[in-house]
Structures are given as structure tokens and as C-alpha cells.
A and B are shown apart, each in its own frame.
Chain A
Amino acid sequence: DQQVKQNSPSLSVQEGRISILNCDYTNSMFDYFLWYKKYPAEGPTFLISISSIKDKNEDGRFTVFLNKSAKHLSLHIVPSQPGDSAVYFCAAAGGTSYGKLTFGQGTILTVHP
């Protein structure tokens, strides 16, 4: 039962353009969402998060949008840079299990110079 899904295994974008990574979830108890970036041979690195009381959170070039009715969130990176090339995971938490993060499968982002 995949409660968090990233349906695009990969995304290719030109440097300077916008990257949009998508994530869907099924569990209505999730109320906190995070995005992590992962480079090869490293652990995931926290990027940005959003609580379900908000529909948008911005941090520099990164913006996360949350659509609770659609159970959908997205990460926008503007402008995209070659150093952004990595695997991006969305994760969700909530309900009675505050410590547990449920991750999607990841999306490989490649930003071409």
C-alpha cells in the first residue's frame, strides 16, 4: 500500500527554467509534508516542509504547494541549477505516528546546462 506516490520517475529541465516535482498521498491523517534531496552515496538532505494549515511555503528558490482537497503537493524550483540534479523524495507524517515519515519512491531531476 503506497500511501505516498511520486508518479514521475525522472524529470529533465534546462538550467534557468522551472522544475516542478509532484507528489500524491492517500492517507487523510497526514498533516505535515517534507521534501528531501539525495545525492549518490549520501543520506537525504532536508529541503523544505509544509504543514496542512498552509497551502504554500517558500524558501529561496524552493516553493512547496499543498492542495489538501486533491491530496497533492508539488515542489517548484526556480530557477533550476545544474547543482539541483539529484533524487527528490517527498515524505509525509501525521496521525498517531508523529515520528514516522512515509516516503515516496523519488524523482530523479536532471538540470542541463
Chain B
Amino acid sequence: DTGVSQDPRHKITKRGQNVTFRCDPISEHNRLYWYRQTLGQGPEFLTYFQNEAQLEKSRLLSDRFSAERPKGSFSTLEIQRTEQGDSAMYLCASSVPWREGRDEQFFGPGTRLTVL
């Protein structure tokens, strides 16, 4: 399977605990994105990387959230001191930029987080 993969697919945690998600992009893609999707809404942008550089962060990404992409390959998204409002689907996407002027992002299956 050469698509974007995410691990775990589901995570249940208690309020106040820390969680970490992993995303493995398509191998030749140097851009990697994180989005969050809540019920009945479209995905909301959180942050993106070009290679190992984090180029943009949404204001949705509070101080409790941190994302890394060491060596420009896989990425991790950590949420510290989780709150019930963090319950959502966390989606990762990757792309090759500037193909035909714009990039098409390819999404992974997501990690569903439930905070009790």
C-alpha cells in the first residue's frame, strides 16, 4: 500500500492525558498536512510541513498541540492535557507541490480521538 498511513486508527483517552499520533506520507511527497474534522464539518487546517520545516500553524493549534516532522519523513502530532473538546478525527495528508500550479493533497484514513 503506497498511500498515506496513520496510526493509531482509534484512540480513547481520559481527560488530562497526553496522546501522540503518527502519519507516514506517500514516500515522494515532501509536503505534509494535519487537519481536524468534527462531526458534520469539513476538515479544518491545523499545520503543514515542507520537508522538516513547519511553514504554517492555524490558530486552532493551541499551546497544547505540537507537531514534528524529523528528517522530513513521518510526522507526529501530540496533544498534551487532552480536553473533551479535542475529540475529533485527525487527518493527515501529503502532496507534491506545484504540480500544474497547485498541489492535490492525498489524505490518510485518519485517527479518531475520543476524550472521556
Residues on A lying within 8 angstroms of B by beta carbon are 4, 6, 32, 34, 36, 41-46, 49, 51, 89, 91, 93, 97-106
Q: What residue of chain A has the Cβ atom nearest to residue B32's Cβ? A: A99
Q: Which stretch (B11-19, B64-72, B73-81, B97-105) binds chain A?
A: B97-105
Q: Are B102 and A97 in contact (CB under 8 A)?
A: no
- The total of chain B residues at the interface (CB under 8 A) is 29
Contact A103 B33 (CB under 8 A): no
Within 8 A of A (CB), among B28-62: 31, 33, 35, 40-45, 48, 50, 55-56, 58
Contact A43 B42 (CB under 8 A): no
Q: Is the CB of B33 within 8 A of A44?
A: no
Minimum distance in angstroms from A72 CB to a CB of chain B: 17
Instruction: Select from chain B the residue with minimum beta-carbon distance to A49.
Output: B104
Chain B residue numbers with a CB within 8 Å of A106 are 40-42
B22 to chain A, nearest CB (A): 15
Contact assessment for A102 and B97 in the assembled complex, using a CB-CB cutoff below 8 Å: no
Can you give 15 A-B contacts (C-beta < 8 A)?
A4-B42, A32-B102, A34-B104, A36-B107, A43-B91, A43-B110, A51-B100, A98-B103, A99-B33, A99-B56, A99-B103, A100-B33, A100-B48, A103-B44, A104-B42
A89 to B97, CA, bound (A): 21
A32 → chain B, closest Cβ, in Å?
A: 4
Q: Min CB distance, A3 to chain B, in Å? A: 11
Q: CA separation between A97 and B55, bound complex, in Å? A: 9
B113 contacts the other chain (CB 8 A): no
Whether B4 sits at the interface, judged by CB under 8 Å, is: yes
